[in-house]
Amino acid sequence: MNLRALAAAAAVAALSAGAGLFAQGSGWPPSPDHLTLPIWPGTPPGEPANMPPEANVNAAGTKTMAGKPYVRLGNVSIPTITLYKPKGANTGAAVLVFPGGGYQILSMDLEGTEVCDWLNSIGVNCVLLKYRVPDSGPYPKSAFALEDAQRAMGLVRLHAAEWGIDPDRVGVLGFSAGGHLSAAISNHYDHRLYEPVDAADMLSCRPDFSVVIYPGYLALADKDFAPNPDIQPTANTPPTFILQAEDDPVHVENAIVYFLALKNAKVPAELHVYAQGGHGYGLRPRDLPIMGWPGLVETWMRTIKVLPAQ
């Protein structure tokens, strides 16, 4: 067995051994009734061998949001997608969800499974991407996360009929670094960053819509919040919803600067800025107006006709 195979086996063993700890109210790892697929048939492009095993680096529960610990998944070298289907009516719309974590870890429940539960509750299919970390972005510093996102979008469209998804109503939703990833794939979709693997890579990886929640890396703080030159919207960038708090330590300018770039490119865009909220809250209940953001996203999805009007 080569080093890569040994690393993969170690990662699987670590996940199996720690599944009980991960799953205590977190929804991660996903239960067997959720389809989970590796997104690459072999070693992901450029992935080094002998990676350390995947693990929840917040296993002790010291990091919390709204009084609850959350999964901070590290050392992800085998990216996957997990399908979450509505238990009731299925609208056919789908969202590929990108958890945040600074491209170092993934907040798999706080900004992943909990978001999928909400999307399912409004009849939307959720596909949760576990992309590679650490040091997998932002593009072009590293292409790993964006490669995983492009590949995942192709796979969703490849399996759309099988999964009850309309391939023309597939969007992305990301938080923090995942918000940057939502913007990145919305502007880097015209060619794959890797050599095509199979039929999934012949399909478009352009999202039909994009939701960007408390993003980073879209305005350059060390350059007076100039727009990130590697994210340049055009008229073909998909309709975009953006939300951030003014007191976000990651800087609200990320949302504002990206919105203005979309506006200048004549892309339909909606921006919501709140006075309070901070960063990294997902859907965890707190007594702040910003926590009504899921309802705003649902209304916007109806406005752009991804979901039927009520």
Nearest to 87 by CA among 126, 39, 48, 59: 126
Nearest to 177 by CA among 231, 102, 249, 113: 102
pTM of the model: 0.92
| Amino acid found at 21 | L
CA pair distance 7, 3, nearest whole angstrom: 6
3 state DSSP class of 150:
helix
The edge-to-edge listing of strands for the beta sheet with 72-74 is 55-56, 72-74, 106-107
- Residue 72's φ and ψ, nearest 5 degrees, are -120, 95
Per-residue pLDDT of the chain (310 residues; tens, 9 = 90+): 333 333 334 333 433 334 444 444 678 999 999 999 999 998 999 988 788 999 999 999 999 999 999 999 999 999 999 999 999 999 999 999 999 999 999 999 999 999 999 999 999 999 999 999 999 999 999 999 999 999 999 999 999 999 999 999 999 999 999 999 999 999 999 999 999 999 999 999 999 999 999 999 999 999 999 999 999 999 999 999 999 999 999 999 999 999 999 999 999 999 999 999 999 999 999 999 999 999 999 999 999 999 999 8
Assigned token pair, 214: 């408390």
Q: Domain 3-303 adopts which CATH fold?
A: Rossmann fold (3.40.50)
